[in-house]
Amino acid sequence: MKLYFLSFFIILIIIGNSPIFAQVKQYRTQAEIEKEKLEKFKIIKHSITFSLDYGYFGLFHYAKANDNTTTIDISDYHSMLNMNFEYYPYENLAAQLSIGLIYISQEQTIDSINFTPGYGLDGIYAEGSGKGGIILPVTFGIKKTFLKDLIRPYVSLLSGFTYMKIGTGTGSGSINDIEKNIDYYSTLKFTYQFCSGVQIKTGKVVRLDFGLHIYGTPNISPSIGGIDSYSGWYLFGGMNFILNPNRKKSKTR
């Protein structure tokens, strides 16, 4: 009987050390390693990030002025570029700096040309007009993300200022004698900004970013560029880059 039990235990030891069991043990260990890598991959605590977004800006109806004394209507310009800088002291909370830009490219138009014979180039008399400008909202605030996965919804609340400068002008005269009349309008207004969106981590450094920003300012008096306030919505898509991907990663909270 003793010999029987001894033989049984020897067989169990041999089977336990067989290649089949060794492979199962190795497989489980590898799975645990991969799981640990994935969990670390999700961590963004202590990250410094930079975002570059591009999208469509639309003014709210109440922000448009009833009368426009300039040749520029800001509500006609919808392309907007936005940059964000973020620092995550915690896994789901970040400090955020947002800088937007709407660029109104310079446009020059010849409105009329008259020619008087016998005066050469001086006999050509032209009248023209032009316009251009920028809108620059700069805000700072906090960003709250939800979930601790590769896909993270978020909301942000920021405040700061918006700088607007536009120029309009006319010119007339011959090729050797041109008179210019240029007017510049500018204003600096307090601005609040609310953001909502989602970020999707696709790599060690890159996250996709999609969302909606809401901007608002007090009334602008007198109005500038056909608007009474810089209040509207910005629908965008872009990319978010983690600038310090090799930082030391610790437990999240």
What is the tens place of the pLDDT at every residue in 178-215?
Answer: 666 667 788 999 999 999 999 999 888 899 999 999 99
Q: Is residue 253 part of a domain?
A: no
Question: How far is CA 90 from each of CA 44, 73, 81, 93, 190, rounded to the nearest angstrom?
Answer: 8, 43, 28, 5, 29
Residue labelled with tokens 């961590």: 43
Identify the pLDDT of residue 186: 85
DSSP assignment of 23-78, as one string?
HHHHHHHHHHHHHHHHHHHH--TT-EEEEEEEEEEEE-GGGB-S---SS--GGG--
Identify the pLDDT of residue 214: 96
Cα end-to-end distance, the chain, whole Å: 59
Identify the pLDDT of residue 166: 84
19 and 65 fall within a common domain: no
35 and 76 fall within a common domain: no
CB within 8 Å of 113: residues ≥ 6 apart: 124, 125, 126, 127
* Contact by Cβ (8 Å): 70, 185: yes
37 and 50 fall within a common domain: no
35 and 55 fall within a common domain: no
223 and 102 fall within a common domain: yes
Question: How far is CA 186 from each of CA 136, 159, 189, 190, 196, rounded to the nearest angstrom?
Answer: 11, 20, 10, 14, 30
Residue numbers of the chain with a pLDDT score lower than 70: 1-28, 30-41, 68-70, 106-130, 169-182, 248-253
pTM confidence score: 0.73
76 and 18 fall within a common domain: no
Number of folded domains that form the chain? 2
Q: Is residue 21 part of a domain?
A: yes
Query: Residue type for 122, please?
Result: D
Cα separation, 154 vs 151, in Å, equals 10
Q: Is residue 75 part of a domain?
A: yes
Pick from 158, 218, 236: which is nearest to 194 by CA?
Answer: 158
| Longest pairwise C-alpha distance within the chain | 133
Identify the pLDDT of residue 55: 96
Write the CATH number for 118: 2.40.160.20
Identify the pLDDT of residue 88: 94
20 and 53 fall within a common domain: no
**Which domain does 16 fall in, by range?**
1-42
> 56 pairs with which residues across the strands?
79, 235
3 and 59 fall within a common domain: no
